[in-house]
Structure 1
Amino acid sequence: MTTVTPPAIVQTAGGGGFRGSAASRLLQVGLNAVIGVVSICAVWQFLITKADLTAFNRRTPMQVWHYLTASGHTAERTILWDATMTTVRDAGLGLLVGTIAGLVVALLFNRYPVFEQGSMPVAMALRSVPLVAMTPLIILIFDRGLLGVTVISGIVTFFPTLVNVALALRSVPASSVDLMTAYGASKGRTLVRVQLPYSLPALFASIRVAAPLAVIGAYLAEYLATGKGLGYLMLQANFASDYDQMWTAVAIITFGAVLLYQVIAAIEQVVLTRFAADPNAR
């Protein structure tokens, strides 16, 4: 008689096999980040070369690098650093809050399907409104401080997480859920042991997609409302025709989004290796 065991969660012991696998995957993630940065610089240089821009308002990757590293730009680097830290804080909080909110609502949808049927169309209708059009209203409600910026950058994180995780929770094989039920597992235990591990790939895919969007959301809020961060710094640089600072701020936002994406990919590799549901479990 064949003995059937409940669906398992992979929790590899801290042995050399896991460390070796994680190290190789992290190395691949780092290589991908380098390739991404080099590709962006190559496209940037190509477009600058081909575009009909004067030397006054165009900057190449090497010119931006010189602006960031030259000894005569210490004050400018300090301004850029402070603005970057503000944008990192705004985007990070928005990403965290939006992801948690999307995950919680997805779990509520899974637990109460009637709630999903009534709420999801409203959520999708709200998502169709351009963020730039919603920003003034959000700032009016939540003020120009950190809360308003967090709401704006969190919105773009919330919807991908909600949709993907809700779909992943519904896509868990019925046989796995039935097996847990046959073993007398409660709905909460089935959620923790089966549904959440199956939804981890969808959750991380959502975060990877939403991370650059959270940076854009933070930048948009800073540009339109708060008077802080890289968004506002770019606005000031544009008015002052300080193209060195403006191009450098654009580069920081772009490469920061690439780096954030790769950091999340690295975390994803480690977490999925250790905790994702094992499709080969028997």
Structure 2
Amino acid sequence: MVYLLWILVVGLVDNPFVAKGPGDVAEYLITGDDAAQHRSEVMEQLMVTLRDAAIGFTAGMLAAILLAGAIVLSRGVESTVMPVAMILRAVPLIALAPVIRLIFGRGISTVAVMSGIVVLFPALVGIVFGLRSSSKQMHDVVQVYGGSERDVLFKVSFPSALPSLFAAIRISVPGAITGALIAEWLATGKGIGYAVVSAAGQSKNNEVWALVIVVTLVSLLLYTLAQVLETFVLARYGKDAGRA
């Protein structure tokens, strides 16, 4: 699918200087005289981007899980958190970047905030939906035996929300990479996000396409791994686990 889309884009642009095809990228990364050096440089940038994406993913998902639990326990928290989350989602990250950079600097904290913002809202909405979709009868059972609202949350709501949690994870994996690329471009000056902008400014179009294709393929691979993990976990711990 990626390959066909790639060919289509190259055909539509119809500009060999700007639009590079699979053969051009293969030469840049595999068959060319300097391919080994190019691969090393691309992998170095990719490792930085994956580290940044992991930081943003972890920050955004942890915040989403904690806030979702608090929202389910308290309507007051929901009325406070959701408008703020919606504002962060609605305002373009490019517009927020100068403020974030001013507050947190150009280091890991900025990456965590900027990439985490991309992850937070869709994950939060999905997890809250999952927590609230748990069986009311199971809530009553826990409370009849003296359980608190917190017991209901941990023993009923979170297990029932596993499908929604993994759906949020699948959405957040490519989202975290996108957030990392934006943070690298606008704040840190490292990783693929900055390398693409730098190469484009110098008309190094083979490098631009190689970087974009590599990060796209890695995003698809990570998304697939998240799907595999989801299938495994739900088969063992989901509500239908053990059923023939």
- Give the structure 2 partner of residue 171 of structure 1: 133
| Unmatched 5+ stretches in structure 1 | 1-38
- Report if the CA contact (8 A) 1:194-1:277 is conserved: no
1:194-273 matches, cutoff 5 A: 194-273=156-235
For residues 70 and 136 of structure 1, the distance between their equivalents in structure 2, rounded to whole angstroms, comes to 41
Where in structure 2 are the equivalents of 1:30-109 lying within 5 Å?
A: 39-53=1-15, 55-70=16-31, 72=33, 73-109=35-71
Show CA shifts across 1:46-89 (max 9, x none).
22123231x22221123212321125222222111110000000
Q: Distance in 2 between matches of 1:280 and 1:272?
A: 10
Q: 2:109 aligns with which of 147, 150, 159?
A: 147
TM-score (norm. length: structure 2): 0.92
- 2:73/2:150 contact within 8 Å kept: no
CA offset digits 1:223-273 (Å, max 9, x no partner)? 122111001111121122111111001111211211111111111111111
CA distance in 1, matches of 2:32, 2:66: 49
**What displacement does 1:279 show?**
8.9
Match of 1:114 among 68, 76, 84: 76
Q: In structure 2, what is the Cα distance between the partners aligned to 1:134 and 1:181?
A: 44
1:211, 1:261 within 8 Å by CA — same for their partners in 2? Answer: yes
For residues 139-181 of structure 1, give each alpha carbon's deviation from its aligned partner in whole angstroms, at most 9, with x where no partner exists: 1111111111111111111111211111221221211211222
Q: If the length of structure 1 is used for normalisation, what is the TM-score?
A: 0.81
1:59 maps to a residue whose letter is K
Shift of residue 214 of structure 1? Answer: 1.1
SS at match of 1:241: coil
Matched, 1:132 2:94: yes
Poorly superposed stretches of 4+, deviation over 6 Å: none
Give 1:213 deviation, angstroms: 1.4
- Aligned residues with identical type, % of pairs: 37
What is the root-mean-square deviation of aligned Cα atoms in Å?
1.8
Amino acid at match of 2:55: L
Cα distance in structure 1, aligned partners of 2:88 and 2:32: 48
Unaligned runs of 5+ in 2: none
**Residues 234 and 241 in structure 2, CA contact (< 8 A), matched pair in contact too:** no
Count of equivalent residues = 242
